[in-house]
Amino acid sequence: MQTADDGTQVGTAQQSPGVAGPSEDDQARDTVAPASRRFAIGLGLITLAGLTLRLVFTIVARGNQQLGQVTDNRWYYRLGRMLAAGDGFGNPFIWEQQHHRYVPSAGHPPLYPMFLAVVNKIGITTPLGDRLASCVLGALTVLVIGLAARELAGGLAGLVAAGIAAVYPNLWINDAALLSETPYVLLVALFLWSAIRCWRQPSYRRVLWMSFWVALASLTRSEALLLYPLGVLPLLLRIKGVDWAGRFRRLGAAAAVGLVIIGSWVAYNQTRNFAHPVYIVSGSGIAMSYGNCAQTYSGQFLGYWWWDCGVSRLPGQTDETVLDAQGRKQALHYMRTHLREQPKVIAARVGRLFQVYRVRQSIVLDRYFERRGLWPSRLALWMYYPVTILGIAGAVLLWRRRLPVSPFVAVALTAVIAAASTFGVTRYRAAFDGAAVILAGVAVDAIWRWWRRTREPRPERATPTPVGAAS
């Protein structure tokens, strides 16, 4: 036994010959394991709570909501049923209205309809059933957001981020809407988690997983392709401990994954009976036409979209690629003839995206055109500002800690480019909202640690003995 300075006895490891004592690694595992279990239990409970909230909201507030006549959610729902029945990627509106007449379609990327087809295959065939199945994807997003924040700043940050994600209206509103934003946010969150892990240990397996999630996200919303040059490229060019040859090899591996997954869909589209070539989607020109006209360049809909501007109702034309080419031509012509107005219009679009321009009107538009409801839209707006401010603070903390910020910046820029090139809609910001929640967890963790440090008692300073004092 040894005696400490305060008089207490401290035991030392007395080992018998041939008996090994606990190693430092064993002691570290004994310390880490309970914390990991607590985190896993906490994250599981938060994820379950997030799923419950989504299911309750969907059943109560969306249980009787009808699909629109010519809306995106109806398109996804009907195409999911077509795929489940083996009828292929056709235009679901024409199929429904013209006695099962098949016209090829690539109006939206294929991944979300394929998910709904699987849901239909297992016997869930109603719009409400598809919405509830999408809520499961939303709950998985809560889980992944918690894991991503933990990878950045520890268990507390992960639980805080997951807790915010579980109750954040800007996420669960989408989960009940039967739109592609739900799987898109999940896949972007998986990309961010993989990117953080890849930064810490840039193995080829982690690089492949990171590219895999970006490729799937691109087959959910086509603007996710921008994550390759804006997110994957700068991350892999800056990884530490790898020479330039190794960095380029990892870039090649990431590109190969994207080419295989996205290229399969592109190759399939080249075999279909379209008038013009189609790559991922055949609706970008149509979307541009809705946002480039007199009604959206001034007045109350500045920076938004207007139904009568689009070309999707061109009489007698059913080939999407013809409509898309006409819409792009129409939009580009209007843009060229109104070049001086472009800065104003783009600023209005981005302002609407981030709800800093005509904020009150955004609630009205989200309620009626996006069918998000009044109180959910208001609650989403009230929570959006503090979460986003915390997210910005979290990004600054990452930069100061020399952790990767580029994947998060890439997600934000992708949303900005999508809105700037078409029109400003709140739900286009969905992936950014998920990224902001991860960063908000990092910021709250830092605030908590700072507060605890300020509450710790400071050690008392010893009073100096005056020079010449009696001993």
Cα–Cα distance for residue pair 438/147, rounded to 1 Å:
9
pLDDT at 461 over 70: no
Looking at residue 248, its amino acid is: F
Residue 3 β-bridge partners:
9
* Structure confidence at residue 4 (pLDDT): 40
Q: Give the amino acid at 417.
A: I
Write down the pLDDT at residue 32: 55
pLDDT at site 19: 43
User: What is d(CA 193, CA 78) in angstroms, rounded to the nearest whole number?
Assistant: 33
What average pLDDT is seen over the chain?
Answer: 89
| 166-200 tens-digit pLDDT | 999 999 999 999 999 999 999 999 999 999 999 99
For the chain, first and last CA: distance in Å?
36
Helix (H, G, I), strand (E, B) or coil at 16: coil
pLDDT digits (tens, 9 = 90+) for 11-26: 443 444 444 444 545 5
Phi, psi of 45 (to 5 degrees): -65, -40
Q: What percent of the chain has pLDDT over 70?
A: 89
- CA dist 58 and 221 (Å) reads 23
pLDDT > 70? residue 468: no
pLDDT score recorded for residue 16: 40
Q: For residue range 406-434, what is the model confidence (pLDDT) as tens digits?
A: 999 999 999 999 999 999 999 999 999 99
Nearest-angstrom CA–CA distance, 341 and 363: 25
Whole-structure pTM value:
0.89
pLDDT in tens, 214-236: 999 999 999 999 999 999 999 99
DSSP character for 467?
T
Does residue 458 carry a pLDDT above 60?
yes
- How does residue 469 score in pLDDT terms, banded at 50, 70 and 90? low
Tens of pLDDT along 252-288? 999 999 999 999 999 999 999 998 999 999 989 999 9
Tell me if residue 154 falls in helix, strand or coil. Answer: coil
> What confidence tens digit (pLDDT) does each residue in 320-371 have?
999 999 999 999 999 999 999 999 999 999 999 999 999 999 999 999 888 8
Task: Place 156 in a pLDDT band, splitting at 50, 70 and 90.
Answer: very high
Contact of 284 with 221, CB cutoff 8 Å: no
pLDDT interval class at 27 (50, 70, 90): very low
Are 434 and 171 in contact by the 8 Å Cβ rule? The answer is yes
Angle at 131 between CA 130 and CA 133, to 5 degrees: 65
Q: What is the pLDDT averaged over residues 111-115? A: 97
Question: Do residues 430 and 372 touch, judged by C-beta distance below 8 A?
Answer: no
Distance (Å, whole) CA 237 – CA 233: 6
pLDDT reported for residue 6: 39
- What is d(CA 214, CA 48) in angstroms, rounded to the nearest whole number? 26
pLDDT number for residue 69: 74
